[in-house]
Copies of this chain bind each other. A is one copy, B any other.
């Protein structure tokens, strides 16, 4: 069965497994205090153009969002996100479970608008009763967003500026960051992100690793005793090497970029396949997730041969579906899909 279901349906890039095997018998200290973690951090610092960056490896995306947000907010603060933000909808209430409200503003194809953010923050502070409300203490964006869309550097700069005005940190969820960085339609690079964000993470799970996300604090602003808070939330991996070796490999010889670029190339081909058949796109995504509006009957037919994600009902007889490529999508997969659709 062909599968374009998501970008985490296969294991890890072979180079990563190879390195895990090679380093397997080396005795290394636990909890991230090993040379592979150190080396990976150094390479990430370089890639971010930020020698001072502090980096911490965590296991998964929801975990990372929850740990970062709850360790940076004060108890009376919440995090502002687009209504469609992952933290707002699809994390089973992990942020609220940690005691903090997710404050939502409208999402536009997954993105928040700097001006609407500014209006929201101004209204909050102007409200005479604001001390009886949740303080907006952080801004959360995802890049690519849950809809595959990307912020431009100008948009990122504008959001960062609003955050600066209100002195609250900007957090970028990069669960699929590689696919954003290698999109053909972006001017946002790792150094750009490191410059504008106060904290962000470089996703591994969805970009070729077995698991793992690299949290980056570019401004010497990692919360004190972060490791203890990570442990306290059950998020500290005993064999930290598992994360260190993976990120060290991803950031060696540009592997992270190369496999992300491959996924983008595959996604462009998928796009072409649907375009050629005049299928309607739900929105224009420049990354590895493509959202197409299909007739329900056609969906039924296709599902016998290929797995993809049912996103949401579009109208009575049509549905939005998602086709995702990844580092693991092959030329053959795409050809088979073409044959199926045509």
> How many whole Å from A171's CB to the nearest CB in chain B?
15
Instruction: Name the B residues within 8 Å of A10 (CB-CB).
Output: 24-28
Contact of A331 with B by CB under 8 A: no
Known contacts: A93-B101, A96-B99. The answer to whether A235 contacts B238 by CB under 8 A is no
CB of A92 closer than 8 Å to a CB of B: yes
What's the minimum C-beta distance from A37 to chain B, rounded to whole angstroms? 14
Q: List, in ascending order, chain B residues with CB within 8 A of A211's CB.
A: 237-239, 242
Contacting pair A100 B93 (CB below 8 A): yes
In the assembly, how many copies of this chain are there?
4
- Give 1 or 0 for each of A304-342: 1 = CB within 8 Å of chain B CB: 000100100000000000000000100000000000000
* Binary B-proximity of A3-42 (CB < 8 A = 1, otherwise 0): 1011011111010010011011111111000000000000
Overall SS of chain A's interface: loop
Given A71-B75, A128-B310 in contact, is the A232-B91 Cβ separation under 8 Å? yes
Q: Report B-chain residues with C-beta under 8 Å of the C-beta of A128.
A: 310
Among the stretches A60-68, A186-194, A214-222, the one at the interface with B is A60-68
B99 x A97 contact (CB < 8 A): yes
Question: Does any Cβ of B come within 8 Å of A255's Cβ?
Answer: no
Smallest beta-carbon distance A313→chain B, Å:
9
A112–B91 alpha-carbon span in the complex (Å)? 26
